[in-house]
Amino acid sequence: MTTNTGRILRINLSSGKVSTETVPEDVARDFVGGRGYGVKYLYDEVAPGTDPLSEENKLFLVSGPLAGTMAQAVSRWIVCTKSPLTGAFARSVCGADFGAWMRFADYEIIIIEGKAAKPCYIHITPDGVKVLDAKEVWGKDTKETQAWFNSQHGNNTRAACIGPAGENLVKYAAVVSHRRTAGRCGTGAVMGSKNLKAVVITAPRALHLADTDAYNALARKQVNIIKGNDAFLNHKEWGTTSTQDVTNAIGIYPVRNFRYGQLVDFKKVVGAEYRKMRVGDIGCYSCPARCGKVHTVPSGIYKGAHSEGPEYESIWAFTGSIESDNIEASIAADELCDDLGLDTISTGNTIGFAYELYEKGLINKSDTDGLELVFGKHEPMVALVKKIALRQGIGDLLAEGTMRVAAKLDKGSDVYAIHVKGMELPAYEPRGAKSQGYNYATASVGASHCYGYAAQDIFGAPFPHPTDRFDEGNADIVIFNQNGTATNECGVICAFAGGWGWSPLYGKLLAAARGIDVYKDDAYMAKVGERLFNLERAFNIRQGLGRKDDYLPKRIRTEPLHTRQAKGEGQMVSHNDEFLDKYYSLRGWTKEGVPTEDKLKELSLEYVAKDIK
């Protein structure tokens, strides 16, 4: 059996040079693929001190070894780069079909270097790679852009593109494919900084597996397991459109820029209310869950708003952050974000922050182009989404994200800026789910909910052990979740699909896809996850980040949470330092959060030690 370690496509937009490489077998063994390949090549190729929006930064589009196959929910893909929002490691995961199309073109990594002299797009076909003029689509939204590519190159074409937000270098611009986004970390701004509108692939379906027969036998088993799994069936019915039913009920739905943990009348935003406006569903490549629930607003001022979504995070971003219970406005804002190429989480969080600045008198109507940013009023929120993407008026300031806005305004506004490492917090209140909160604090990318999702705190998952969600001492749980996520993102498997009963097949599928048997060993794969996380940490240390950047926002540490009718009233995060001491110790890091030489040696990362001394 021949190993299949994956091919790399490298495009330098400054020189126009295009080349291909094969991933060396030792890299495939140690890093498996997906996020593993992303961090390995980013670490090796992006130097400390690189300006994220300069031509020295690189953009890595990474598919996984299972993508494009008959196995289900394994065709997601990832964007890695140095983040313009945080200055740290960036990893942003996306769905739709693009990951499968990368594999059809027989590339697992697309590395984009340099900067084009004028707006361009990259077109990849079986006949070669071209860098083409993007003047027809520069300035267009993502829907129009992708339709144009299909009109030019045929329906067997998929694109990863930016909207106006990426072109305008909004610090939290997304990369968009179909209606899914690599939303977080500002990867769209990096693409925009390279004058790159899109990467476009036209390719017939093709499989590239080391042992196709063995792989397909395993995939058939996976399909049979999934179709009878209750968690899958529940996800198929609801997607994530009912998570707010739970988070409101337990008081961890952030409201009014993280002052409350519950909407006053949260029954108005529950999943059953969104269900009334659902008009269809859309799925990623080879996934029967079709969890993207499509909504259309039938009447009122947002009549006609139509979006694949909002999913849970976006529901929160456009209700909880400004204390609105208008779900029509949330659908309209979600559609705008996908069209314009914005991360919904950072957008909604930043808008909630702006509302509080307005409430506190730190900005006024003359600053907001006449908009009255009064909590509960949703019309200004929808207007701000567009202003941010186009950098119009106050949108130009808000496009920088909460950390930079607070630094510019000063006047004590930093307490209202709810971010970690510069990335805005998502839709789980840390004071009511503390392992989730400490995942935000220590995740390599800043405040990401899905970097080590604490299902123990939020849903009562009992493995590796149950938690008290108000306990700040569960460093082992945070590490377990973060390492497990990293292992799964080598796949790149969907975060939900890991809970559909087929996880014992994961390593076997990887082994059959690559022809590398060691992946079948769960302990080996767990170590791979830990290796990834440590290399990401080393990347961040080398960029100047460290312990000082592992703290939750000031509000979370100094103000009590108000939960209204839910349990947890008065909770605060009070032991950030003690948590970090314990977390670093368990990770084998120094008191300053630097991986020790012994730990690096254990993880076969000895070569990193000299870089982070």
Partner 1 sequence: MAAEIYIPPVLQALVNGISRVNVSGDTIGECFENMLQQYPALKPKLYDKHGKLPKGISIFLNGVSAYPNPLPKPVHDGDKIYISHIVLGG
Residues that bind partner 1 (CB under 8 A): 230-231, 233-235, 237-238, 240, 242-243, 246, 249-250, 311-313, 315-316, 427, 449-450, 453, 455, 457-466, 468-469, 495-496, 499, 501, 566-567
Please state the closest distance from residue 237 (CB atom) to partner 1, in A: 8
Nearer to partner 1, 29 or 564 (CB): 564
Rounded CA-CA distance 281/275 in Å is 11
Please state the closest distance from residue 488 (CB atom) to partner 1, in A: 13
Strands 157-161 and 128-133: unpaired
Nearer to partner 1, 230 or 410 (CB): 230
Please state the closest distance from residue 463 (CB atom) to partner 1, in A: 6
Residue 501: burial class (beta carbons within 10 Å; 0-12, 13-18, 19+): middle
Rounded CA-CA distance 343/63 in Å is 21
Instruction: Report DSSP letters for 131-169, one per residue.
Output: EEE-TTTTT--HHHHHHHHHHHH-TTEEEEE--HHHHTT
Read off the tokens for 546: 């460290």
Please state the closest distance from residue 501 (CB atom) to partner 1, in A: 8
Nearer to partner 1, 417 or 566 (CB): 566
Please state the closest distance from residue 110 (CB atom) to partner 1, in A: 28
Nearer to partner 1, 449 or 537 (CB): 449
Please state the closest distance from residue 94 (CB atom) to partner 1, in A: 15
Please state the closest distance from residue 455 (CB atom) to partner 1, in A: 5
Rounded CA-CA distance 585/201 in Å is 45
Nearer to partner 1, 224 or 234 (CB): 234
| Neighbouring-strand partners of residue 182 | 175
Nearer to partner 1, 157 or 242 (CB): 242
Per the CB < 8 A criterion, the answer to whether 105 and 86 are in contact is: no
Please state the closest distance from residue 487 (CB atom) to partner 1, in A: 17
Nearer to partner 1, 178 or 469 (CB): 469
Please state the closest distance from residue 514 (CB atom) to partner 1, in A: 28
The identity of residue 300, as a single letter, is G
Please state the closest distance from residue 254 (CB atom) to partner 1, in A: 13
Per the CB < 8 A criterion, the answer to whether 532 and 31 are in contact is: yes
- Angle between helical axes of 35-45 and 522-542 (0-180°, round to 10): 30
Contacts for 200 with CB less than 8 Å, ≥ 6 apart: 121, 122, 123, 124, 149, 153, 157, 158, 159, 161
Nearer to partner 1, 342 or 427 (CB): 427
Measure CA of the first residue to CA of the last residue in the chain; give whole Å: 42
Nearer to partner 1, 294 or 518 (CB): 294
Rounded CA-CA distance 245/270 in Å is 5
Per the CB < 8 A criterion, the answer to whether 102 and 9 are in contact is: no
Nearer to partner 1, 38 or 320 (CB): 320
Handedness of CA 137, 140, 146, 147 (dihedral sign): negative
Nearer to partner 1, 19 or 565 (CB): 565
Please state the closest distance from residue 566 (CB atom) to partner 1, in A: 8
Read off the tokens for 344: 């919904």
Q: Which of 308, 16, 42 is nearest to 185 (CA)?
A: 42
Residue 232: burial class (beta carbons within 10 Å; 0-12, 13-18, 19+): buried
Nearer to partner 1, 97 or 311 (CB): 311
Compute CA distances 182 → 96, 132, 187, 497, 609, whole Å. Answer: 10, 23, 7, 18, 31
Instruction: Report DSSP letters for 537-565, one per residue.
Output: HHHHHHTT--GGG----HHHHHS--B-TT
The phi and psi torsions of 431 (rounded to 5 degrees) equal -70, -15
Please state the closest distance from residue 449 (CB atom) to partner 1, in A: 7
